[in-house]
Amino acid sequence: MNTHAKRIKDLQCLLKDHKLDAVVLGRKLETSFLTGYNQENVFMLVSRTGAWAFMPKMLLADFQDKVDFVNASAPDSLLEAAALKAKELKLKKVVFEPETETYLRGIFWKQKGFAEHKGLTASLRAVKEGQEVETLRKSCRIAGRAFGLIKPRIKTGRTELSVYRELEDIMQAMGASGNSFNLIVGFGPNSALPHHETSERKLRDNEAVLLDYGCVYKNYCSDITRTFFHGKPTAEFKKVYAIVAGSQKAGLAKVRAGVKTQAVDAACRDYISDAGYGQYFIHGTGHGVGLEIHEAPTLNPKSAEVLRPGMAVTVEPGIYLHGKFGVRIEDSVLVTRTGCEILTKTS
C-alpha cells in the first residue's frame, strides 16, 4: 500500500478508536503528510470509510495525477464544500484539531457544528515509518557533520552572526533546504541564555561557545546542540560540562520503547540535581522532532506519554550560570525496542 494511503487508513482507525465519524484538516503540514501533495489551500475531510480533498481549480489536475486514493474536487467555496460533504454523508461526530487550525477556520468549523479534538494527526506523525526514517537520518547527518566543519573556523574576533551564516551555508551545501529554526550561536555569557538571539557580539579568548542548530532536508527537521570552550577551559566549565554530559548519558540510557517520557526527563534532572546544580536546569529535557522542530512527544517533568519504536526525540539537558556561561548537549535520537539510535553524531 502507498505510504500516504496507509496514513489515511491509520487515521481512519484512530477515528474509530475515538468513536468519531470524521475529521476536517486545513493546514498544509497535515494534508501533505496524508497525501504527499505539498501545496497550500488543500482542505480534507476524512471519515471512517473515505477521504475527500477540496482545492482551487489550478491544483486539481496535478493533485489527481499524483494522488489517486483521495476523492478530489474544486468547488467555489472549499470550507463550505467540506462541511456540505459531512452533512451529505450524515456524519454526526465531526471534529477539527484546534492546534493545527487558524482562529477564523476554527470559528467556521464550530459554526458548522464540528467539535475540537486534539492530537489525532500528531499521534500518527510521532512515529516515523519507512522512507521518512531515512530522510530524518539524512537531515540529522547533515547537522552532525556541519559541526565538524564549523568548529575549527570559530576563532577570536568572529561574530555570532557570522558563524550563524556560515553554519547555514555549510548545511545547505550538503543538501539542506534551510534551517529548522532560528539558529542559536552564543558566546561567553550569551551561552547561558537558552533562547539567546544570535547577535553581532564578537568571540573573545577563553570563552564558552554554544551552537544550537538544525536543518530541513526534504521537509524533515534535525536538532542538535554542542558546547565547547574557546581557549583554556576553566575548572568550573570542566566541572559543569562533565555534569551535563553525564546527565545526557543517563537520559539516553533511559530511552527505549515502553518508557514514559517523564522518566527520561527524571534521569537527566536527577543527575544534575544530585550534582548540586538542579536549580540551573531550567527547561524540559526534550521534544519530538520530524516535520516540525517541536512535535509530540514531550519530555518534561509533567509529560506522561510513552515512547514507541519509531519516535524521534531530542535529549538536551543543560546548566545555565547567568552572567558566566551555559552548557547544553543535545542529540536527536530514534527510539527502538531496546534503546535508541543517536542520529546527530559528530566527530
Domain ranges for the chain, please list them: 3-125, 131-342
Confidence check: pLDDT of 347 > 80: no
Q: CATH assignment of 3-125? A: 3.40.350.10
Q: What is the average pLDDT across 39-59?
A: 97
Q: How far apart are CA 10 and CA 14, in angstroms?
A: 6
3-state secondary structure of 220: strand
> In CATH, what class is 131-342?
alpha beta
Contacts 24+ apart (CB under 8 A), 108-116: 108/79, 109/24, 109/83, 112/83, 112/86, 114/24, 114/83, 114/86
* Helical segments of 74-130, H only: 78-88, 103-111, 120-125
Structure-block grid coordinates of residue 25 = 484538516
3-state secondary structure of 306: strand
Q: What is the average pLDDT across 307-323?
A: 98
| Residue showing cell 545547505 | 172
pLDDT, residue 1, reads 67
pLDDT band at residue 2, thresholds of 50, 70 and 90? confident
pLDDT, residue 260, reads 97
Neighbours of 152 (CB within 10 A): 7
Confidence check: pLDDT of 137 > 80: yes
For 196-217, write each residue's pLDDT tens digit: 999 999 999 999 999 999 999 9
Across 33-134, where does the E strand assignment appear? Answer: 43-47, 51-54, 71-73, 94-96, 115-116
